[in-house]
Structure 1
């Protein structure tokens, strides 16, 4: 019989069959107790929604700026020319280009958290649909990533803005900060994210919209959150 580690024993003692639902504060306290001492884990929230994203009127997608930031350094690429390219660089974009950037991405250099483009560059960016689309990086005017205001878009990406998009199984998830964040900061981010999902309820959603919520950390267990903790759920 395999000998349990101290962490496995603690998990078994704390969670049992893990059927319990927790309030946010209690769940966060448990993640802190069970967290790794070797690195700063990301705290993540996952929501199981009563939607089928295969239908256009049940898609849940958007952007939300987390009030306390994400704790991550987001690498931003911007497609722009001339003055707009200079604006993007001044705003802190990591890479700015046009055809040269397109070719670089076609060659597999896609280590970016956000791709932004000015409207006049979409003829170039459009050739990257099969490359950027599967990674969720394709610039989109509805999400504010196709915009003439590259300064605002770059600063938002760097300052805690996250994109959410429901997956095939009806699950939407996102990191909401680091375990090193204060309880208040993580709770503010949790509320901002869950509120955004509730407000993004599509017209085609039927029955109960927010079915399950879970909170976890990079190395931690998934803890079920009482949906009563989310307004409008």
Structure 2
């Protein structure tokens, strides 16, 4: 068994693994123990009572965090002519059509989000095997296939987070940085949890939100009292 570092020992002492903490307590603990030289990301994980292998139990959506993510999101946009100009004016990092598709097929993907105008989806659809597994495929339900490319770019840059249930029924997402104030982190976490709760699929039976935990990049995991997550 690997030997625990002094920091890991301190983290274990600070958190009772058998206890669920209030959201405010959990945020306070994580901020106190985020002592890395870089600004650690705060992430929430929600264990849901769903089986995403069934189409009527898939959980997926987007949420605009009220205080942003603290992350510089690079956005690529598939658009032409006036729509391409609108995307650039809104702050898109990469804008293109066939040239962007060739770049992606060559394995060059220096971006975090892909947006496309509807008329570009015939081209983008051919990239499904590359973009799909990375969670980057534009989707009209998520607002990433839209004629309003300017609005989509601004949302992506302004704190919009996509979420999707993984095989085990877990949804997770970055909800801010350790440098955020406790109030801002709590607001973001409640907004994220509220969006996931509202995305409850019709096929979900029994307890929907089973467990919620919060962690930072290098910090301990802290279980949160689910009943205190309402926005």
Structure 2 match to 1:9: 9
User: What stretches of structure 2 of length at least 5 have no aligned partner?
Assistant: none
Between the two proteins, the alignment pairs up a number of residues equal to 231
Q: Counterparts of 1:227 and 1:214 in 2: how far apart (Å)?
A: 9
Q: CA shift at 1:61, angstroms?
A: 0.3
Q: Which SS does the other structure have where 2:166 is aligned?
A: coil
Structure 2 match to 1:94: 93
Q: CA shift at 1:13, angstroms?
A: 2.1
Cα deviation, 1:158-206, whole Å, max 9, x if unaligned, reads: 0000100000000000000001001111111011000001100000000
Summarize the Cα distance change of 1:158–1:2 in structure 2 as closer, same or farther, 3 Å threshold. Answer: closer
Q: How does 1:178-197 map to 2 (within 5 A)?
A: 178-197=177-196
Cα deviation, 1:79-103, whole Å, max 9, x if unaligned, reads: 0000000000000000000000000
User: What stretches of structure 1 of length at least 5 have no aligned partner?
Assistant: none
TM-score (ref. length: structure 1): 0.96
Q: Which SS does the other structure have where 1:22 is aligned?
A: coil
Structure 2 match to 1:148: 147
Q: Counterparts of 2:202 and 2:3 in 1: how far apart (Å)?
A: 51
Cα deviation, 1:70-125, whole Å, max 9, x if unaligned, reads: 00000000000000000000000000000000000000012211100000101110
Summarize the Cα distance change of 1:20–1:143 in structure 2 as closer, same or farther, 3 Å threshold. Answer: same
Contact 2:23 2:229 in 1 (8 A): no
Q: CA shift at 1:3, angstroms?
A: 6.5
Asked if 1:107 is matched to 2:106, the reply is yes
Contact 2:12 2:220 in 1 (8 A): no
Q: Which SS does the other structure have where 2:38 is aligned?
A: coil
